[in-house]
């Protein structure tokens, strides 16, 4: 049975309702005690504004990823807190940061908006009824940006490797986590960072499990999603994430960029010479030899020569051999990346590349 909440109760007990709600992982930096009221008109929500909503119909997402790092099953009538945001996921949903009388759960990790397109394998999105925007003591909407890392200059002396891919689900996260594991075994204090994408705990937890000393992502910079964000904001966020890693004692970083090199934000970032200069080297994750060949050509047009290939292509010896023959690059499987000697050799190559570019 759907639970109804009178308007007066919502106005006077917003903090209590928010405390009862299931808070999404993308809001993990928010101080929940800052909730002081509710703005009942949610139509003007901006990306990052925190929406208190009631689950109306269960669809594709049957769980919400909680700030605690575990999934929670959703039931109709559940109260949830998620930020308004956009999403780009070629294998799932594409949507924009718009809240109406109802809203779509675009990602279980915590993005509410309006779905515009979906992959054929996906069902209808889980639908929620917004009750309003959570507000602080000043009466303004609480927004993720208020809890972001402070802007910072990119640090010197932090060796960094970027991981880019042919598409969503090409093996980028496994590549990033495995290299972070190998570097940790090699004695480096390594940060694993997700620079772009949609807020979720899957990649974050994978980095933690791999033994990274520091794990960070774009939600630490006040964004539930990087889709449709200005490249200048994303570039500044990358600097802040690298600076935070250095401030916390890291001497190496592995940075994953979401989706494929043709996705608009990823393309804008890696096409920017200033962004590229943050990295001594790139790894390219891909699923087959033809996409390896095309991806390496696309990267060359953006001034990038990858150190090696990895990703799903490494699962097949035949495809790996084809990719190596087509590109002249080694294909590194996950065991290679987890090997401390191999990981150390990669970071040394990246450090040499950074010195040559300086």
For residue range 260-309, list pLDDT tens digits in order. Answer: 999 999 999 999 999 999 999 999 999 999 999 999 999 999 999 999 99
pTM: 0.94
Please report the pLDDT score of residue 1 as a whole number.
42
Which residues have CB under 8 Å from 45's CB, separation 6+?
51, 84, 97, 98, 99, 130, 133, 141
pLDDT at 355: 75
pLDDT of the residue at 354: 77
Domain edges within the chain: 7-144, 159-357
Look at residue 2 in the predicted model and tell me its pLDDT: 46
What is the signed CA dihedral for 250, 335, 311, 93, rounded to 10 degrees?
-70
Q: Which residue has the tokens 């609480």?
A: 142
* Contact present, 166 and 227 (Cβ < 8 Å): no
pLDDT at 29: 97
Class of domain 159-357: alpha beta
pLDDT of the residue at 6: 55
E strand or H helix at 73: strand 71-73
The dihedrals phi and psi of 160, each to the nearest 5 degrees, come to -135, 140
Phi, psi of 266 (to 5 degrees): -60, -45
What parts of the chain have a pLDDT lower than 50?
A: 1-2
């Amino acid at each position: 049975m759907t639970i109804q909440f009178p308007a007066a109760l919502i106005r006077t007990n917003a903090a209590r309702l928010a405390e009862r709600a299931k808070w999404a992982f993308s809001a993990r930096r928010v101080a929940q005690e800052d909730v002081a009221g509710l703005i009942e008109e949610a139509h003007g929500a901006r990306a990052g504004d925190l929406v208190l909503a009631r689950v109306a119909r269960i669809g594709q997402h049957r769980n919400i990823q909680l700030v605690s790092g575990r999934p929670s099953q959703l039931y109709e009538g559940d109260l949830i807190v998620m930020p308004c945001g956009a999403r780009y996921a070629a294998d799932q949903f594409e949507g924009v940061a718009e809240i109406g009388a109802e809203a779509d759960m675009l990602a279980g990790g915590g993005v509410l908006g309006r779905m515009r397109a979906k992959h054929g394998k996906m069902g209808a999105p889980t639908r929620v009824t917004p009750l309003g925007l959570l507000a602080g003591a000043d009466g303004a909407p609480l927004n993720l940006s208020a809890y972001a890392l402070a802007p910072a200059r990119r640090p010197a002396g932090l060796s960094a490797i970027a991981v880019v891919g042919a598409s969503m689900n090409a093996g980028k996260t496994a590549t990033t986590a495995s290299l972070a594991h190998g570097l940790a075994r090699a004695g480096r204090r390594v940060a694993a960072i997700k620079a772009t994408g949609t807020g979720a705990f899957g990649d974050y937890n994978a980095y933690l499990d791999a033994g990274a000393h520091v794990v960070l992502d774009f939600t630490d910079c006040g964004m539930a999603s990087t889709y449709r964000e200005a490249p200048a904001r994303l570039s500044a966020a990358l600097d802040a994430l690298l600076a935070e890693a250095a401030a916390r004692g890291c001497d190496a970083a592995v940075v994953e960029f979401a989706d494929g090199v043709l996705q608009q934000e990823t393309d804008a970032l890696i096409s920017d010479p200033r962004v590229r200069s943050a990295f001594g080297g790139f790894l390219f994750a891909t699923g087959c030899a033809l996409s390896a060949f095309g991806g390496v050509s696309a990267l060359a047009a953006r001034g990038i020569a990858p150190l090696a290939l990895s990703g799903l292509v490494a699962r097949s010896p035949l495809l790996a051999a084809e990719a190596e023959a087509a590109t002249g690059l080694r294909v590194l499987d996950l065991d290679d990346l987890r090997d401390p000697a191999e990981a150390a050799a990669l970071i040394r190559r990246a450090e040499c590349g950074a010195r040559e570019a300086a």
